[in-house]
Structure 1
């Protein structure tokens, strides 16, 4: 057995995020069984929105990021560091900042952990993306004007065959 103090930072982050995503998936499953996909989508988005404020305060505190984000460079630095804590490799998504005031996303190898899980539950056709909605809620909480392309709605992976796009920022 390996002692807990021998576990790396990356292993700890992966473990905690996998446990969180398992809880999230089980919550979604039981809500879906009890209330159906429409109500589950509504409750899921409400939970994400209310969580984002608390989550951002905690992340900002841990990172020592106290000031308001006033420009693209500050957002980029914050998002990259926050992602290292809460968007581990198993989520299979990449974010890129190749243009000023624009962040792209792509789920690598055409896979999304949420898509795969909701598809197994048989509700993917009406699933409203909670993964990108979480990012949207962060941006709203940070007071950053933005526009998603394509817009966030039903699962892009299911309806378009892939999930990629960009977020335009207006500072």
Structure 2
């Protein structure tokens, strides 16, 4: 039975085209790979994507050599490497955006006015956000900046989901009240 075989035997079975072997390796090491990815990327969705990418790379690469270490060491090394690559990609994209932003000159006086208005609006939103309670700020940041669901926020903050929903709703209502002239 495949599940009783060593990692090397399972990997060889995968190299021979047996896709069940990939499932066995995922069952054994999926959680470890996900945790490493999550710790490095700080985002659950990114970590899930990277975990999938790591295991799919086993199908194509076939470079595991047991003489160089165990399967778990190999997979965590690949995960770490791919996470670093993602950080570099994100940083490079951000630098390109910043270079573009700084190199582009305002085409007209209207563009400059729009830019100033946007900056003013941004400051007002930041000031309004600062008026929220710390918990409301935390819940809204986790929901809108980190992209976490209410259940994930509940788990992270060790708070009942109903309380998370209440803080989120009250925070949004207060922001709407403070920024009413921008909303209308």
> Smaller-chain TM-score range?
under 0.3
Structure with bigger RCO (C-alpha 8 Å, 6+ apart): 1
Q: Which has the higher helix share?
A: 2
TM-score of the superposition, structure 2-length normalised?
0.22
**Which has the higher Rg, Structure 1 or Structure 2?**
2
Q: Which has the higher strand share?
A: 1
